[in-house]
Structure 1
Amino acid sequence: MTQRTILVLGASGLIGRFITDDLRARGFRMVGVARRLSPAQKMGAQDIERPILSLDTAALARLISEHAVDVVVNCLGVLQDGPGSDTSAVHRDFVARLLQAIGDSGRAIRLVHISIPGTAEADRTAFATTKREAERLIAASGVPHAILRPGFVVAPSAYGGSAMLRALAALPLDLPGKEMATPFQPVAVEDIAATIAWLAARDIDDASVNAVSWELMQADPVTMAGVITQFRLAFGTAGWPRIAMPSLMLDLGARLGDLANHLGWMPPMRTTAIAELRRGVRGEPSAWIAATRITPKTMAETVGRHPASIQDKWFARLFLVKALIFASLVAFWIVSGFIALFVSYRAAAGILSAHNFPPALVDPITIGTSLMDMSIGVLIAFRRTAAIGLVAGIVASLGYMVGAAILTPDLWIEPLGALVKTGPAIVLMLVALLMLDNR
């Protein structure tokens, strides 16, 4: 058989990255494309960075033709609308352009599209409805296609919702009872890769697989509690006592996640994520199993083959704490600057006056440092500028410590130890800087 070329769109994501590496190891010629690849993801010479969602039909057709693509795998998706994220643009409008580009490329191409399980009647979120609109466009296009609807994807790496469930397994926390009882049929990412490999090996003239929609998941019913239990067994936390969070706290966390989303972050706990979680993950994989003869791995087989290592445990324990770290640093810098500027301005300025600062400099320095502190907090709050804010915070803190040592050394021994406490704050900012990556 001639070596097939597979183009993966969204090759930096949880599914896209795994299948790009897996199918490359199987002998396929892989071209992974993502808006941004991390240095560690730039493994293959064919993996490229492109502003995928900005490409028009002609640019997509050229991309397909230049690489002589036989199979296109679309793994692109966003959970919720926000800055730089538009569910309609990603799920519907892009797919419309992609279908047109496949037609314009002049090549016989199979499209493999990653969607979501469930029925249109149960769709309630923009995420789900736009995913379903994309499916309808594909079905009506006449392009040879396979729509894959994986269940809850379990992979060696973790991102978003999969990371959140690992965090719950590693900590003494439970979701509310109703959510824990939600159907949650999982699928191993290896089974998704095996399915795409099976499809890529089929001849484009094979009518039996040129217009299929399959739900990929473990056949036996599983609840969310069952999924988390398997992770707890891997983490060694199965016997721990648990505290079930009330539904009100879960909803509050989702609203705070929406706020963070507007600041450019992509927390796993957002209103769309909770709505989809409450909807559950269920489907009927019999058609997929019958066609491919793939026996889906169970949760026990998938997680049991990857017992938690120390890096897995650290990641899971720190995943939810990461949000607390950043929120506390934002509050620390903004509140401290606000207090010095508006609440205790005379006391702040009095510290400088008491140490013989030139009177003409007391007000400018007090106002300037207060505004600088608040600006650092604002920089950390936005995902795009968080690294700049953290570095600025570390530099500013070191500057305060050095300046105080030179100009006001007695502050180092004052009873409340304000300057001494700056050291741990610097360490916390360094920790936040090291935890900034998402992938």
Structure 2
Amino acid sequence: MADGRRRALVLGGYGLIGAACLRRMTTAGWRVTGVGRDAAAARRVAPDADWAIRDLAAMGEAEWRALVAGADVVINASGALQDGGGDDLGAIHERAVVRLVRALEGSRTRLVQISAAGVAPDAPTAFFRTKARGDGAIRASGLDWVILRPTLVIGAGAFGGSALLRAAAALPGVAPQVLPEAMIQTVALDDVADAVLAAAEGAIPGGTVADLTEAEARSLPETVAAVRHWLGLPRALWAPPVPPVLLRGAAAVADGLGRLGWRSPLRSTAIRALADGVRGDPSAWEAAGGAPCRPLEQTLAAMPAGLQERWFARLYLLFPLAVATLSVFWIASGLIGLARTGAAAEVLTSRGWSDAAARVAVWIGGVADLALGLAILWRPLVRAAALGMAALAGGYLVAATLAAPDLWADPMGPLVKVIPGLVLALVVAALTESR
């Protein structure tokens, strides 16, 4: 390069692991380009970074060759948990990797693949099977490669499973015993980023396949208890068992919501992975010269929890509840208005409106309420729908004040009761970002 710095390409650069790798490589003096398909998410995660906005799953080999040209190392931190919500596991984990491998053929570029502990061609979930096939394409190539397979990643930021872990730990007074037989090993996000840097700089031999993990495992409830202690919350007073059928039901609902764009960590793939245990063997990594990964207690001690961590943990589960509440409220409001047009129109006709104008106003309002109540259930439209609810509620208040100011003094408080819904919509709009 013109400035003499080595160049790194980080695929999936705004994800939990990708963003950490991007930052670590940059501070180590590399010239780093992050790659991802969402320009807004990229700017939020690393506003000063160099970004190439690409849909990795849709790129052809020519685009891949142009993208990787001149890179000294390519770090593949892209991935998805489950099909749905715009994600295609076969395209992301397998076909994109095959095209990447072909684009790198004949080059001296090192490929660092971030996979997952437990991948296998005959694994019970598509996530692990597709990851294994992508890893297999790399291992069968003549490239200079290193494959790293982290267990459950814990960092200052939280996404997916690590976010759900915090939310479960923050339940007030309750510690549900979910999958008590499942054994979990973790790895610090900083340790993963350091491992990637070591692999990128050649400190790890080519051809290494290694799990990144702490040495010891603990049960899932013990892991949740450790996070609860880290958050500074008192011990739970009640630890009820969670029947497997309830967990399967939650996973089925989460899978259904995935079709609406919601990437819930409660989807069946995550539940199955937890049930099977998140385990790894650190021996291959340490034999390759890698530094031992710290245990969970040290990981948590290195990132003291503050008010923002407790807020996040509590709001993580309240957010979907708030979305559901708004959806039910606005759908019900719309249906009731449309079903009882005459009664609703009477509020206006009794104040001088013509019957036709009153009925048109009721129908427009009912259809708008129903549309917003349905729109907020689709993940890409959550923020727009929430802001639309706030704007429409504000419009109702202004219109009612002009047309029927006496309603403010109504003992049933029909206008006063609009205000909490308006505020809740603004809160939801403020919480919609997932990265």
TM-score (norm 2): 0.94
Structure 1 residue 174: Cα displacement:
3.2
Check the 8 A contact 1:229/1:238 in 2, yes or no: no
Match of 1:79 in 2: 81
Deviations 1:214-265 (A, max 9, x none): 0110011222223222211111224231343433332222222222211112
Match of 1:312 in 2: 309
Match of 2:333 in 1: 336
Matching residue's letter, 1:167? A
Match of 2:45 in 1: 41
Structure 1 residue 44: Cα displacement:
3.7
Check the 8 A contact 1:33/1:50 in 2, yes or no: yes
User: Using a 3 Å threshold, how does the CA distance of structure 1 residues 425 and 277 change in structure 2: closer, same or farther?
Assistant: same
Match of 2:100 in 1: 98
Task: Specify which of 356, 363, 373 is matched with residue 359 of structure 2.
Answer: 363
Percent identity between the two aligned chains? 35
Structure 1 residue 382: Cα displacement:
1.2
SS at match of 2:34: strand
User: Hey, what's the Cα distance between the residues in 2 that align with 1:14 and 1:119?
Assistant: 19
Check the 8 A contact 2:56/2:92 in 1, yes or no: no
Matching residue's letter, 1:248? V
User: Hey, what's the Cα distance between the residues in 1 that align with 2:94 and 2:147?
Assistant: 14
User: Hey, what's the Cα distance between the residues in 2 that align with 1:309 and 1:334?
Assistant: 38
User: Hey, what's the Cα distance between the residues in 2 that align with 1:387 and 1:44?
Assistant: 25
Check the 8 A contact 1:176/1:247 in 2, yes or no: no
Aligned length: 428
Q: Could you tell which deviates more after superposition, 321-330 or 402-411? A: 402-411
Deviations 1:122-155 (A, max 9, x none): 6111111111111221111222211111000011
Check the 8 A contact 2:151/2:186 in 1, yes or no: yes
User: Hey, what's the Cα distance between the residues in 1 that align with 2:322 and 2:405?
Assistant: 30
Check the 8 A contact 1:198/1:292 in 2, yes or no: no
Match of 1:186 in 2: 186
Q: Could you tell which deviates more after superposition, 227-236 or 71-80? A: 227-236
Structure 1 residue 176: Cα displacement:
3.3
Q: Could you tell which deviates more after superposition, 296-305 or 264-273? A: 264-273
Q: Could you tell which deviates more after superposition, 276-285 or 231-240? A: 231-240
Task: Specify which of 50, 57, 77 is matched with residue 53 of structure 1.
Answer: 57
Check the 8 A contact 2:282/2:292 in 1, yes or no: no
Check the 8 A contact 1:57/1:97 in 2, yes or no: yes
Match of 2:127 in 1: 127
SS at match of 2:132: helix
Q: Could you tell which deviates more after superposition, 120-129 or 144-153? A: 120-129
**Given the alignment of the two structures, is residue 219 of structure 1 paired with residue 221 of structure 2, yes or no?**
no
Matching residue's letter, 1:296? C
Give matches, 1:14-29, under 5 Å.
14-29=16-31
User: Hey, what's the Cα distance between the residues in 1 that align with 2:381 and 2:47?
Assistant: 27
Structure 1 residue 121: Cα displacement:
6.9
Runs of 5+ unmatched residues, structure 2: none
SS at match of 1:230: helix
Matching residue's letter, 2:45? Q
Deviations 1:363-397 (A, max 9, x none): 21111111111011122111222222112111111
Structure 1 residue 97: Cα displacement:
0.6
Structure 1 residue 352: Cα displacement:
2.1
User: Using a 3 Å threshold, how does the CA distance of structure 1 residues 45 and 152 change in structure 2: closer, same or farther?
Assistant: closer
User: Hey, what's the Cα distance between the residues in 1 that align with 2:110 and 2:238?
Assistant: 48
Match of 2:407 in 1: 411
Task: Specify which of 289, 294, 303 is matched with residue 286 of structure 2.
Answer: 289
SS at match of 1:17: helix
Match of 2:67 in 1: 63
User: Hey, what's the Cα distance between the residues in 1 that align with 2:280 and 2:45?
Assistant: 32
SS at match of 2:90: helix
Match of 1:280 in 2: 277
Structure 1 residue 53: Cα displacement:
2.4
User: Hey, what's the Cα distance between the residues in 1 that align with 2:246 and 2:210?
Assistant: 36
Match of 1:376 in 2: 372
Match of 1:246 in 2: 243
User: Hey, what's the Cα distance between the residues in 2 that align with 1:374 and 1:341?
Assistant: 9
Check the 8 A contact 2:121/2:133 in 1, yes or no: no
SS at match of 2:84: coil
Structure 1 residue 296: Cα displacement:
1.1
SS at match of 2:148: strand
Match of 1:354 in 2: 350
User: Using a 3 Å threshold, how does the CA distance of structure 1 residues 402 and 22 change in structure 2: closer, same or farther?
Assistant: same
Check the 8 A contact 2:21/2:197 in 1, yes or no: no
User: Hey, what's the Cα distance between the residues in 1 that align with 2:160 and 2:85?
Assistant: 17
User: Hey, what's the Cα distance between the residues in 2 that align with 1:62 and 1:198?
Assistant: 26
**Given the alignment of the two structures, is residue 8 of structure 1 paired with residue 4 of structure 2, yes or no?**
no
Runs of 4+ in 1 over 4 A off after TM superposition: none
Give matches, 1:142-221, under 5 Å.
142-172=142-172, 173-177=174-178, 179-202=179-202, 209-221=205-217
Matching residue's letter, 2:209? S
Structure 1 residue 190: Cα displacement:
1.4
Matching residue's letter, 1:170? A
User: Hey, what's the Cα distance between the residues in 2 that align with 1:426 and 1:150?
Assistant: 43
Matching residue's letter, 1:319? Y
Structure 1 residue 175: Cα displacement:
4.1
Q: Could you tell which deviates more after superposition, 257-266 or 313-322? A: 257-266
Matching residue's letter, 2:424? L
User: Hey, what's the Cα distance between the residues in 2 that align with 1:212 and 1:263?
Assistant: 39
User: Using a 3 Å threshold, how does the CA distance of structure 1 residues 45 and 184 change in structure 2: closer, same or farther?
Assistant: closer
User: Hey, what's the Cα distance between the residues in 2 that align with 1:401 and 1:98?
Assistant: 56
